């Protein structure tokens, strides 16, 4: 996928998720399958995960290179990244504590969080567009489950991750 394709799927998947969460009443936001996060918690998790991605994309190019080095391989495809993430989850991979929602959200708090997620997605799209195609493949960032990812792969992850949590949030309502 090129930058335009990444930003398109990123925006589409987040919009679908946000629209779904925004359509829920308070009781539906709090409904959860035992051992799973409810819809409000899914939203909080997506927010907590987007913040550092956006921050990393906003750093001057030399900072990630200095901290994490440069890619020594080609970027994986979207499908390969999704497959790798699903494998990690099947092997018992869990979100690190910093990305686990801590407080139950109210409808009012959820509406505020929706606006914050929208702003983060808008910023991330803008930041992806500012990077060249080659920068997306050369610069790397750490991911807690997947190890070092190129910026392109991190864009893929952000796009898939929200769809994964959208599906989980919908599953709570069945």
* Three-state secondary structure call for residue 141: strand
What digits encode the pLDDT tens for the residues 75-96?
999 999 999 999 999 999 999 9
For residue range 25-35, list pLDDT tens digits in order: 989 998 988 88
**In the chain, % of residues over pLDDT 90:** 87
Distance of alpha carbon 8 from its chain centroid, rounded?
14
**pLDDT value for 33:** 86
CA-to-CA distance for 71 and 135, rounded, in angstroms?
A: 10
SS3 content of the chain, % helix, strand, coil (to 5): 70, 5, 25
pLDDT of residue 174 exceeding 80 = no
Query: What's the mean pLDDT when you consider all of the chain?
Result: 95
Q: How many angstroms separate the Cα of 105 from the Cα of each of 40, 42, 119?
A: 6, 10, 19
State the DSSP code for 75.
P
Structure tokens at 162: 């929200």
Spatial CA neighbour of 164 closest among 81, 46, 51, 84: 46
Q: Specify the residue for token string 């990630």.
A: 64
The per-residue pLDDT for 109 is 87
pLDDT at 165 over 90: yes
Domain 3-93+105-171, CATH class in plain words = mainly alpha
- Above 90 in pLDDT, residue 152? yes
pTM comes to 0.95
**pLDDT score at 35:** 86
Query: How far separated are the first and last CA of the chain, in Å rounded?
Result: 33
**pLDDT tens readout for residues 110-145:** 999 999 999 999 999 999 999 999 999 999 999 999
DSSP run (H or E) holding 148: strand 147-150
Per cent of the chain over pLDDT 70 is 99
Distances (CA, A) of 111 to 106, 107, 118, 161: 9, 6, 11, 20
Count CA atoms within 13 Å of residue 147 on its CB side. Answer: 6
> How does pLDDT run across 34-72, given as a tens digit for each residue?
889 999 999 999 999 999 999 999 999 999 999 999 999
């Amino acid at each position: 996928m090129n930058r335009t394709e990444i930003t398109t799927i990123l925006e589409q998947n987040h919009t679908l998720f946000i629209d779904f969460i925004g359509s829920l009443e308070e009781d539906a936001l709090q409904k959860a399958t035992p051992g799973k996060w409810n819809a409000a918690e899914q939203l909080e998790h997506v927010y907590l995960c987007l913040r550092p991605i956006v921050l990393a994309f906003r750093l001057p190019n030399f900072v990630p290179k200095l901290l994490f080095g440069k890619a020594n391989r080609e970027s994986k495809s979207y499908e390969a990244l999704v497959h790798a993430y699903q494998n990690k989850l099947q092997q018992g991979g869990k979100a690190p504590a910093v990305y686990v929602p801590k407080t139950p959200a109210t409808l009012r708090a959820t509406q505020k969080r929706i606006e914050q997620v929208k702003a983060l997605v808008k910023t991330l799209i803008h930041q992806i567009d500012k990077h060249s195609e080659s920068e997306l493949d050369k610069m790397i960032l750490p991911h807690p489950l997947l190890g070092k990812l190129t910026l392109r792969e991190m864009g893929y992850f952000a796009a898939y991750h929200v769809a994964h949590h959208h599906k989980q949030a919908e599953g709570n309502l069945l």
